[in-house]
Structure 1
Amino acid sequence: MYAKTILIVDDEPRTRQGMKKMLDQWCDGSCRIMIAADGEEAIEIMRKQHVHVLLTDIHMPEMSGLTMLRNIREHGLSPVVILISAYSEFGYAQEAIRLGVVNYLLKPISKTDLIAAVEVALQVEEKQTRAIIVEKVVDNRLVQVNEQSQTATERIRSALYYIDTHLEEELTLKELADHVHLNPSYLSVLFKEQVHLTFSEYVTRQRIQRAKELLISTSLPVGDIAEQSGYRTAKYFIKIFKEIEGVTPSSYRKSIH
């Protein structure tokens, strides 16, 4: 299984084969290095195969590199792009930046420059992927709670911190009330008033949030994730997870990956 796919697009056979050879030697089988002779072939490959990094010449017959980039962006494809050219063309810089180009290589390309550019592109791709995952994983309601907690009373902030650090345990309102030295009924009213969620709603959202993070960042079995998220049985955990996320934990993990 390859970690990443890199696609080289250049109408000059010696250039694309040369770059492929250099990158094959560099990655030593950890990446899939693919080649295309023109924009049409590249688009066809990208429709079938997820490409993480795209290296493309600007000037090619039938379809220029920038035209190809506009085309793939319209189709929702977003590889990290390195432009290649036989001569400096700064006139393209503005559109290139808009189309997500992260580097610009001039021919003839040295092995050192090529590898350095690809390493930077892979780092950029990794950051973009993480950002997308975080956006999918984060519970916006909990983000709001975090913002609101800045103006909450000290006891409510203490209550939130206690919940967040004891999620894997069996939490009760009485236990929390004892911890912050308040009457359970009064704490319940105060909690809803300042957090805008009930005690049980907040606990559930935080537990599911933790579960989502574990699902995408580990290969732990669902049963172990249920336990680490504060659920005594996997069956009940799966039921609650599906009620909130609309899918089972296993399906969620597959969709993110």
Structure 2
Amino acid sequence: MYMAGLLILDYEKIIRQEIKLIFKESQYNHLSIYESDSGKSALSIFQQKKPSLVIMDLSLPDVDGIQLGKEFIKISPKVSVIVLSQLTMFEMVESSINAGFSGYLIKPLSKVKLLSIVDRLQIPDLFQHSTDTSKESESVDAAKQPVKHALEFIHNKYQDELTLHEVANYVYLSDCYFSRLFKAEMKISFIEYLKKYRLNQAKRLLKMTSFPIEVIANNTGFANASYFTTTFKRMEGKTPTEYRGDFVKLFDKTH
């Protein structure tokens, strides 16, 4: 049976206190909070309490953090494990993701990022009030599908200056790992996908509005009209003006 609880595992007492304070001052202040400074003690607590959420440092004095996290999931498959670490090595991040952990945050601790990832996980019994289970299912599904979640973010933010780092950070992955994952799933790089998506939005505006080229460029995420025109011609074989002109001619013929 899962309990609306949080297990904090970190060798440093000050870190554990900081995390406790963050949760006590948040909407999750009703949670039962357990803490430990060692892997063996944490495992014992986990077996007894079976909390819904674990926040843990991987650098433990007595056990392998990755293996311990896997053990938590083996005991309670629905538990969410969030890693809080000073290690930024790609291999460690990748190992955490492959182990089925729900997030990887870098120390020093960011209150905003920590609560953001907990909000995104939407763990049902972390909330005091019942919520629609279908919505919870969708949220958990999105959290477990970072590329799908990233696409939604891109489609909402394509008009702005958008970098791979910003999107990777949004889905709590390293730049390198997110780039590889995105290309493997979408069969196209992040940069090319973003460029094509912006271009398709620009084509829609060229066909359906009389906005000047400069306005369309600015509203579809291109740095300026010159870059927009150059990119458009390279990818479409004609300039934005020529594209619009061809559409107008075709429209006139059919009407």
TM-score by length of structure 2 reads 0.45
Structure having the higher Rg: 1
